[in-house]
């Protein structure tokens, strides 16, 4: 039996507590984004308290008593600190009753974590159980990292490190129990052992992070099942059900393929679609529609006019203006295997680069519609298998116009479009049977607006304030066959498709060119602290990573304000704020959109942290590099003599003779004496110098004399130096170094 499995107090037992606590903390780091803050703090402090008490050299009964007292004290402190309850009245019975009545459900989290910690501490004792335990944790983190939006690379790395360190400690414990005398000898060289262990760990880490990313040859069963659900024959996976939210049946939220029949309810789907690292918050624009049928939106022949373009080619936008713009870069990583017909990016896309390494060498088919600023995806120019797949990562550069709102508010219709008005029939199209009362309502709403921009603001505000948001509009109330009329006068509630379609058609009815756009809302910022600062202070981060899910699928309106100002986004859906860059303020306050959710629904789970900051990753890698550099420098210094001999051998093109090695070794002990402060005068021979050193330090006189004899024989004698004499010179040099070190002579 493995002797380290004995449950007894020792240094190894204390170290085991530390490594177990490190692994437990990785799970606390993962749940920090899921639990309430008070729950996370409670479990963390409970485990710390239990671990510290367990490490004390007390008997088991005393430890359990201290643990119970400590856990109770931690519960009271955390619950009071976070305002779960405020104690008042006498301690007994009032405060005791208050405390016990507020323990649930927090106590169950703490007790469960405590029980798992105690169980692991007693079960995971030998090397095989350590391997099994660490492996289970690594597999669990790997599954969560692969099949959820969470990025758990750092947690996995720490678990690997803790498992390896635990195994090392287990090895030394077994060595101590089996060979106590040898362990006492090893214990005298902690730095040497520690450095070698650190080098091995650093090499493992660097090898791990240096491995190239290779796509799997076979699709795993889970991904295959998800792909079948998305593209198979099920109702929720049809083109229609993956709509921006446009379907006539209850399905799941997502990006639509068919917008010809709007309406109906849907269920929320928080499945991740992509992560976007962007220098500015924006709507991730997909496609536009211009032809309204009375039931929905369809594409026309004009809107299907595309030009083939290449990667990194500057794209011409027919709707561009002379306004100043902000250049933003978006690095997009897809988190689903769905194929989309369009590349997403902020308006307006300037160029694109495919960064998907699995498609290296393939030429993408990119189609650009310069009138509507759409960038279509049509697969790769290859007959190879997988050439029709959607890129898993790409980088988009966009030129976002800066809107001079104060100036635009003063521009009249004639100022914007001239005396003849806008020549944009496609964006003024309405069905012949478009309801007159919708037009009348639009005219009444905008009547008080002095300028086109003011009129559009009035229209937007009216829709936001007078109609409710819901994902399950009651279509049974609909009387009118026209989608917009039914929304405005019958149903009077809906989601983004309802509001955006009403905004576009009502704007057209009062003479403003408009188009319907679909894509994704910005999503949730992975860094919750950054999100809070952005929301409360309007701070624009230099770069932030947004997690975009199917629930963020969205549609909105773009309205045309003439050649000088171009297309401007208008957001009519309640709870959403379009991230328009305005001249007066760098960006409108970044109010986080409520992801297409009714107010009556339960509080949504905190957004998963798709991509943590790379600080931990960076310092771990650089720390490993530093350890290897220090170790390499030490090895060069330790074997400097052998290295010097190697250089001499290479320069001379042959093996060195023992005499040449003795002469080279003499440089070593002479340099040692000089470093210790023993001077050698310019006019002295080596013999005169050594004699003077012998007189000054009699303790090392013997070694100096013998080394001098070896040098003179090798240098001046016709006799050859034997290998035994060379080895004796090395031994004398080590003895001299040891004597000087012990003597600590410093002249």
Q: Tell me the mean pLDDT in the region 712-727.
A: 81
Q: With contact defined as beta carbons under 8 Å apart, do 114 and 47 qualify?
A: yes
Six token digits for residue 168: 């090392």
Could you tell me if residue 695 is inside a domain?
yes
Residues in the chain: 747
pLDDT for the residue numbered 499: 96
Q: Counting runs of H as helices and runs of E as strands, what totals does the chain give?
A: 24, 19
Window from 290-299, 335-344, 597-606 with minimum mean pLDDT = 597-606
How much of the chain, in percent, has pLDDT values that exceed 70? 82
Q: What is the pLDDT of residues 375-417, one digit of tens each?
A: 999 888 765 555 678 899 999 999 999 989 889 999 999 999 8
pLDDT for the residue numbered 187: 79
Could you tell me if residue 203 is inside a domain?
no
Q: With contact defined as beta carbons under 8 Å apart, do 416 and 563 qualify?
A: no
Model confidence at 746, pLDDT cuts 50, 70, 90, reads very low
Q: With contact defined as beta carbons under 8 Å apart, do 49 and 67 qualify?
A: yes
pLDDT for the residue numbered 219: 59
Window from 224-233, 251-260, 267-276, 324-333 with minimum mean pLDDT = 224-233
The SS3 of residue 511 is coil
Q: Give the DSSP per-residue string, 250-299.
A: SEE----S--SS----EE----EEEEEEESS---EEEEEE-EE-SS-EE-
Q: How many other C-beta atoms can be found within 10 angstroms of the C-beta atom of residue 656?
A: 16
Domain count, the chain: 2
Q: What is the pLDDT of residues 604-630, one digit of tens each?
A: 434 444 344 445 556 667 777 777 788
Could you tell me if residue 709 is inside a domain?
yes
Q: Which of 531, 522, 601, 588 is nearest to 554 (CA)?
A: 522
Distance of CA 358 to the CA centre of its chain: 21
Q: Is the pLDDT of residue 186 over 70?
A: yes
The residue that leads in pLDDT, 747 or 163, is 163
Among 183, 213, 233, residue at a domain's last position: 183
Model pTM score: 0.49
Q: Tell me the mean pLDDT in the region 736-741.
A: 78
Q: What is the pLDDT of residues 553-566, one digit of tens each?
A: 999 999 999 988 99
Could you tell me if residue 101 is inside a domain?
yes
Burial label for 32, CB within 10 Å (0-12, 13-18, 19+), is: middle
The residue that leads in pLDDT, 503 or 322, is 503
Find the radius of gyration of the CA atoms of the chain: 37
Model confidence at 539, pLDDT cuts 50, 70, 90, reads very low
Q: Is the pLDDT of residue 6 over 50?
A: no
Q: Is the pLDDT of residue 678 over 90?
A: no
3-state secondary structure 408-466: HCCCCHHHHHCCCCCCCHHHHCCCCCCCHHHHHHHHHHHCCCCCHHHHHHHHHHHHHHH
Window from 171-180, 554-563, 720-729 with minimum mean pLDDT = 720-729
The residue that leads in pLDDT, 528 or 642, is 642
Q: Is the pLDDT of residue 215 over 80?
A: no
Among 183, 199, 217, residue at a domain's last position: 183
CA atoms of 659 and 722, how far apart (whole Å): 8
- Peptide linkage before 348 cis (omega within 30 of 0): yes
Could you tell me if residue 16 is inside a domain?
yes
Window from 353-367, 433-447, 572-586 with minimum mean pLDDT = 572-586
Window from 4-13, 404-413, 497-506 with minimum mean pLDDT = 4-13
pLDDT for the residue numbered 463: 96
Model confidence at 214, pLDDT cuts 50, 70, 90, reads low
Q: What is the pLDDT of residues 650-661, one digit of tens each?
A: 777 777 777 777
Q: Tell me the mean pLDDT in the region 231-253.
A: 43
Query: Kindly report the CA angle at 494 between 492 and 497, in degrees rounded to 5?
Result: 125
Q: What is the DSSP letter of 324?
A: -
Could you tell me if residue 556 is inside a domain?
no
Q: Is the pLDDT of residue 250 over 90?
A: no
Model confidence at 592, pLDDT cuts 50, 70, 90, reads very low
pLDDT for the residue numbered 71: 92
Q: Tell me the mean pLDDT in the region 2-9.
A: 51
Strands in 639-681 per DSSP E: none
Among 183, 204, 229, residue at a domain's last position: 183
In the Cβ-directed half-sphere of 697, how many Cα atoms lie within 13 Å?
23
Q: Is the pLDDT of residue 438 over 60?
A: yes
CA atoms of 554 and 685, how far apart (whole Å): 91
Q: Which of 660, 659, 678, 683 is nearest to 736 (CA)?
A: 678
Could you tell me if residue 178 is inside a domain?
yes
Q: What is the pLDDT of residues 57-73, one digit of tens each?
A: 888 888 999 999 999 99
Model confidence at 543, pLDDT cuts 50, 70, 90, reads confident
Burial label for 1, CB within 10 Å (0-12, 13-18, 19+), is: exposed
Q: Is the pLDDT of residue 275 over 90?
A: yes
**CA dihedral for 121, 126, 130, 133, sign (positive or negative):** negative
Q: Tell me the mean pLDDT in the region 503-508.
A: 96
pLDDT for the residue numbered 450: 92
pLDDT for the residue numbered 456: 96
pLDDT for the residue numbered 21: 94
pLDDT for the residue numbered 240: 36
Q: In sequence order, which ranges of 179-235 are alpha helices (DSSP H)?
A: 180-186, 190-210, 221-231
pLDDT for the residue numbered 295: 92
Model confidence at 585, pLDDT cuts 50, 70, 90, reads very low
Query: Kindly report the CA angle at 480 between 478 and 485, in degrees rounded to 5?
Result: 95
In the Cβ-directed half-sphere of 69, how many Cα atoms lie within 13 Å?
7
pLDDT for the residue numbered 698: 83
Mean pLDDT score across all residues of the chain: 81
The residue that leads in pLDDT, 270 or 201, is 270
Could you tell me if residue 131 is inside a domain?
yes
Window from 187-191, 204-208, 232-236, 507-511 with minimum mean pLDDT = 232-236
The SS3 of residue 470 is coil
Range of the domain at 111: 3-183
- How do strand 468-469 and strand 493-494 relate by DSSP bridges? parallel
């Amino acid at each position: 039996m493995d002797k380290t499995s004995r449950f007894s107090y020792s240094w190894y037992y204390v170290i085991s507590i530390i490594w177990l606590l490190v692994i437990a903390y990785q799970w606390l780091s993962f749940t920090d984004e899921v639990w309430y803050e008070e729950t996370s703090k409670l479990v963390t402090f409970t485990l710390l308290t239990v671990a510290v008490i367990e490490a004390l050299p007390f008997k088991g009964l005393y430890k359990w008593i201290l643990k119970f007292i400590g856990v109770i004290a931690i519960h009271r402190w955390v619950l009071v600190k976070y305002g779960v309850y405020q104690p008042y009245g006498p301690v007994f019975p009032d405060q005791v009753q208050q405390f016990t009545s507020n323990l649930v459900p927090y106590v169950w989290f703490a007790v469960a974590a405590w029980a798992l910690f105690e169980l692991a501490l007693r079960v995971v004792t030998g090397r095989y159980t350590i391997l099994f335990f660490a492996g289970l944790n690594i597999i669990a983190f790997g599954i969560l990292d692969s099949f959820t939006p969470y990025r758990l690379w750092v947690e996995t790395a720490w678990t690997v490190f803790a498992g390896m360190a635990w195994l090392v400690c287990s090895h030394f414990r077994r060595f101590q129990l089996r060979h106590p005398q040898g362990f006492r000898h090893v214990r005298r060289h902690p730095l040497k052992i520690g450095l070698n262990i650190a080098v091995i760990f650093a090499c493992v880490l660097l090898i791990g992070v240096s491995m190239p990313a290779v796509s799997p040859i076979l699709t795993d069963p889970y991904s295959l099942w998800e792909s079948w659900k998305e593209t198979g024959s099920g109702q929720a996976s049809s083109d229609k059900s993956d709509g921006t939210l446009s379907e006539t049946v209850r399905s799941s939220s997502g990006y639509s393929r068919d917008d010809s029949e709007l309406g109906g309810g849907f269920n929320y789907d928080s499945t991740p679609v992509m992560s976007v690292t962007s220098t500015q918050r924006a709507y991730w624009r997909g496609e536009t529609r211009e032809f309204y049928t009375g039931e929905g939106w369809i594409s026309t022949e004009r809107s299907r006019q595309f030009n083939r373009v290449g990667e990194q080619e500057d794209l011409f936008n027919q709707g561009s203006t002379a306004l100043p713009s902000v250049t933003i870069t978006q690095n997009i990583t897809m988190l689903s295997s769905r194929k989309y017909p369009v590349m997403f990016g902020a308006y307006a896309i300037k160029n694109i680069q495919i960064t998907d390494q699995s498609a290296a060498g393939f030429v993408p088919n990119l189609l650009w519609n310069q009138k509507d600023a759409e960038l279509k995806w049509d697969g790769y120019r290859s007959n190879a298998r997988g050439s029709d797949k959607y890129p898993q990562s790409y980088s988009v550069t966009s030129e976002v116009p800066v809107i001079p709102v104060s100036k635009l508010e003063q521009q009249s219709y004639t100022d914007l479009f001239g005396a003849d008005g806008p020549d944009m029939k496609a964006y003024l199209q309405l069905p012949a049977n478009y309801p007159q009362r919708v037009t009348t309502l639009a005219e009444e709403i905008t009547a008080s607006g002095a300028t086109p921009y003011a009129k559009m603001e009035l229209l937007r505000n009216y829709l936001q304030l007078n109609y409710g948001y819901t994902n399950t509009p009651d279509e049974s109330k609909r009387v009118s066959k026209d989608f917009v009329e039914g929304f405005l006068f019958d149903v009077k509630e809906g989601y983004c498709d309802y509001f955006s379609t009403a905004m576009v058609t009502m704007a057209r009815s009062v003479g403003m060119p408009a188009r319907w756009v679909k894509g994704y809302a910005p999503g949730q910022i992975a860094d919750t602290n950054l999100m809070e600062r952005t929301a409360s202070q309007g701070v624009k981060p230099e770069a932030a990573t947004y997690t975009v899910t199917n629930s963020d699928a969205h549609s909105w309106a773009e309205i045309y304000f003439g050649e000088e100002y171009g297309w401007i986004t208008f957001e009519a859906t309640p709870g959403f704020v379009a991230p328009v860059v305005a001249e007066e303020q760098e960006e409108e306050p970044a109010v986080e959109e409520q992801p297409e959710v009714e107010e009556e629904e339960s509080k949504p789970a905190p957004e998963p942290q798709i991509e943590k900051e790379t600080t931990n990753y960076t310092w771990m890698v650089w720390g490993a590099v530093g350890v290897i550099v220090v170790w390499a420098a030490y090895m060069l210094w330790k074997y400097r003599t052998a290295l010097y001999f190697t250089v001499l051998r290479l320069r001379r093109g042959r093996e060195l003779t023992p005499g040449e090695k003795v002469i080279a070794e003499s440089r070593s002990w002479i340099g040692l004496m000089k470093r210790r402060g023993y001077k050698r005068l310019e006019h002295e021979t080596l013999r005169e110098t050594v004699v003077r050193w012998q007189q000054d330090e009699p303790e090392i006189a013997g070694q100096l004399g013998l080394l001098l004899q070896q040098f003179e024989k090798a240098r001046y004698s016709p006799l050859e130096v034997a290998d035994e004499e060379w080895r004796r010179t090395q031994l004398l040099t080590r003895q001299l170094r040891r004597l000087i070190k012990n003597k600590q002579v410093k002249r």
